[in-house]
Amino acid sequence: MILWNNKEFIEDEFINSLVEELKNKPDCYNFEANYYSSYFTHPNERPEIKLNNFYNSIIQKASKDLSLYNRMQYVNEYWMQLYTKNGGVIDKHHHYSPNNIFSWVHFVKPTKEKCFYFLTPNKKIYPNQEEGEFIIFPSFALHAVDVNMCDEDRVIMAGNVIVSNNTN
């Protein structure tokens, strides 16, 4: 399921400032599922826009390692998710689109319990979710997040890499 992975760290102080910005955007809170997300916010108004160079360099390295770099032009779209302590959850979904080349998750501040998983017909598969773990996976892969039952918030960044022009 995992196409590529690496460890990428962001300073706690910087992440904490992004989390505070996210929490101060009322349109980013999902009352039904008890989590914050910048997904439905215009990309230029997202707190994590300050990380564009950071994430674009990771995607560039990964696309080189996956032999995709000179074969396509792409757009890296990403957003921040904050799963609140004792409750935040997202049901199964995928990011499939004919233009998505792959999807990714960066476990910026994970909890002690693994929450993110891939769904197969017979079981849940939990990848490594240590702090800094950055994984790339096929966009069609069904995935979900268990309820965050820990007494701490969980912060991730998630994204899709979308082909904007095929050069081969």
Sort strands 4-7 and 133-137 into parallel, antiparallel or unpaired: antiparallel
In the predicted structure, residue 12 carries a pLDDT above the cut 80? yes
Strand pairing partners for 109? 155
Which residue type is seen at 14?
F
In the predicted structure, residue 98 carries a pLDDT above the cut 70? yes
In the predicted structure, residue 30 carries a pLDDT above the cut 90? no
CB 48 within 8 Å of CB 77: no
CB 155 within 8 Å of CB 21: no
Percent residues over pLDDT 90 in the chain:
76
Determine the average pLDDT of the residues in 13-29.
95
d(CA 167, CA 147): 42
Determine the average pLDDT of the residues in 55-77.
94
28 burial via Cβ count (<10 Å: 0-12, 13-18, 19+)? buried
Least confident of 34-38, 43-47, 163-167: 163-167
d(CA 80, CA 18): 9
Residue closest to 59 by CA, chosen among 3, 13, 118: 3
Residue 92's pLDDT band (cuts 50, 70, 90): confident
d(CA 150, CA 132): 19
d(CA 52, CA 50): 6
In the predicted structure, residue 65 carries a pLDDT above the cut 80? yes
- Identify the pLDDT of residue 89: 74
